[in-house]
Structure 1
């Protein structure tokens, strides 16, 4: 308990120092540049013309008072060219070695280009481990903010040289969304090799229609094709961009898919809200954007509208920054209590029916409700029952699982297995001590599903 309090005090001593002001319409913009925009897919030579235009675009944005972060891919592609290798190998150690060679060369190219305009840059290499720890997460946030306040352009990439599957973001689309959430960005631009999202793959279907504005990504996935693969050098495709858009919009970041070879279009895209409302804020209603987007003077792009009630910093970190160390399964009563629209409840031991994984106190876990799980337990006197007999004969169309959210636990997995199903007053009888009344406090919980079973 003392260790938990000490860790909490340490975390509380470090606060994010985001510059929240929007002086003279200043925006915070994150630009993600994919491998296909940096390297030729066949020869692996760097696309210097595209990189030069990106640099010029960033410099112009800064001259207008905006704060800009560049999230870049390309280390492996540049490494292949530097080592004269024909293709990316399958062996992980070899890929990481190539990334180590390419990362230095990639940053050297960026430094050469930005130095032509006396613009300082900074390299930030991240893995999931760097944001899983609350203190490191806040330090990363503050470093990014301080760099931008100093006039430096942070260039962010995943640390491919040491990343393994357990700590990888998986692709830089996800990394860019996490970065945008960390700095409370106004815009995230996912620069790719197409103008926008289409109803089908435009390379094979000439009847594919552009998707201009999206306010419901889940519904969009059911209506459009997202099978367009990434390049042979990259790790993502269109589906990873939709996932990134979900992450970023949940944090209140308007997300845009646009063509990487024409970065100057960013200016037209960010001035669209000014034309409509006179404000630099990217938040507009969908109908207004669709009407304006069909104007031939506005470049094709797909705009994902930011959520009106974005997750605050700590909630964002819990939901997207932490790797879930296990899963807690809850009954219908707990599900209703922690997902109600008004005052949401903490998760108590009485509402827990199962626990999977091995974890300690203060680690992150998934919270899952299984409508079809009606296993009765007596637990040696626990008196647990997840449902009445009549419910077990209910709707067989219920989903197998509903992920309610994630949270930081007050008890380790072996402790939860002993106290699940009991009242808070009984915890001390089961364990001999009681560190907390609840297993997950509502302030340490982020919900992802609010529909009732």
Structure 2
């Protein structure tokens, strides 16, 4: 297993114009105790983005700190546990956060746009494509899109979970070359460097699953934020699967982004950071949307031999086999037709995710009748299989 190696051996896109997604966390732009904005950091982030744009790059900013900004405005000491109160504080803070960005970018006549998303906004294919088209149009106009989760209406069922995940989804939507996850350390370490002096920096990762076995990332994020290194690994996994090189770097020095994406990134003076290498054969847009845009409404347990066929199809870069009723061993959840479900083998875990042609109740009726003929089981048929191969995305 190769987890650590010298960064000079990595490759970067050859395009002169890159699409970059930069995610800044609450701890990078809002003081954890006073909740005052860290204007020096914010200014450096803005200046870095402007410099990148002068070099011809397209930049999307994913930002946190709506709750932190709202706490400052309302003179509250800490983030409340009550959901409605946190949503109300985010509603107060989001406007002031955007006002701060607009003021800073406005000093250089740089237009910005606000996009507030929930996972539910991307669940419908047309809405997902509308969001993609809006982002592309803004970038073509030279605008800097500023993306945040819509915390004022988000609940657990429709939340991305944290802005690390949101930034990875955004990077996949705009087909970014780089995703930068800016945090309070300069790179990923094998353990917490504050408590373990023997912790080693991880410079380059080509296999995230293998990396998880080598490191300890149990520490949560700040009291204002929702993330930590665990969520950054999840985000890197999502983004690299979409073909996006992902970087973990220090949020207080955003100017380090410039040498990382330039030719000087291959010199000995490259700032310390962690680079997750993009997958050479990324998921196509629709498969990416099925895996990461759709809410998972239930679970279908399948037989091991069918899972092997799915895995073989993935290994050979072919479409997976369609799923028929006789291959289903158990159904969980109360999903309906055209919702997304996991395909799971009990011994190995999730192997795929896809859109079903029948509801959970209908599938169980077919299973109870012990028949593969859907017409005989239900009296009608919309499709001859439970899930079409075109609507199935491999996750193994």
Counterpart residue number, 2:4:
none
1:358 to 307, 328, 334: 334
* Matches of 1:330 and 1:86, distance apart in 2: 50
* Matches of 2:241 and 2:322, distance apart in 1: 22
Task: Name the TM-score, length of structure 1 as normaliser.
Answer: 0.81
Give the superposition deviation at 1:328.
Answer: 0.7
Are 2:391 and 1:444 equivalent residues in the alignment? yes
Higher mean Cα deviation, 207-216 or 147-156? 207-216
Give the superposition deviation at 1:361.
Answer: 1.3
1:435 to 363, 373, 382: 382
Deviations 1:372-414 (A, max 9, x none): xxxxxxxxxxxxxxxxxxxxxxxxxxxxx42111000111111
Counterpart residue number, 1:380:
none
Task: Report the CA distance shift for 1:177/1:24 in structure 2 as closer, same or farther (over 3 A).
Answer: closer
Deviations 1:101-160 (A, max 9, x none): 100000000000000000000000000100111111110010000000011100000000
Counterpart residue number, 1:316:
288
Structure 1, unaligned runs of 5 or more: 1-21, 277-291, 372-400
1:349 to 325, 341, 345: 325
Task: Report the CA distance shift for 1:95/1:51 in structure 2 as closer, same or farther (over 3 A).
Answer: same
| Within-5 A mapping of 1:216-365 | 216-272=207-263, 295=268, 297-340=269-312, 341-342=315-316, 343=318, 344-365=320-341
| Within-5 A mapping of 1:34-183 | 34-183=25-174
* 3-state SS, counterpart of residue 20 of structure 2: strand
Deviations 1:11-63 (A, max 9, x none): xxxxxxxxxxx996100000000000011111111000000000000011111
1:206 to 186, 197, 205: 197
* Matches of 2:81 and 2:98, distance apart in 1: 24
Task: Name the TM-score, length of structure 2 as normaliser.
Answer: 0.93
Structure 2, unaligned runs of 5 or more: 1-12
Point out which structure has higher relative CO (alpha carbons under 8 A, 6+ apart): 2
* Matches of 1:207 and 1:261, distance apart in 2: 24
Aligned length, in residue pairs: 379
Does the 8 Å CA contact 1:70/1:156 hold for their aligned counterparts?
Answer: yes
Does the 8 Å CA contact 1:338/1:347 hold for their aligned counterparts?
Answer: no
* Matches of 2:150 and 2:302, distance apart in 1: 37
Give the superposition deviation at 1:206.
Answer: 2.1
| Within-5 A mapping of 1:417-428 | 417-420=364-367, 424=372, 426-428=373-375
* Matches of 2:214 and 2:354, distance apart in 1: 32
Deviations 1:231-273 (A, max 9, x none): 110001111000100010010000000001111100111124x
- Pick the structure with greater CA Rg: 1
Does the 8 Å CA contact 2:259/2:265 hold for their aligned counterparts?
Answer: no
Does the 8 Å CA contact 1:256/1:303 hold for their aligned counterparts?
Answer: yes
Task: Report the CA distance shift for 1:23/1:203 in structure 2 as closer, same or farther (over 3 A).
Answer: closer
Counterpart residue number, 2:343:
367
Give the superposition deviation at 1:435.
Answer: 1.2
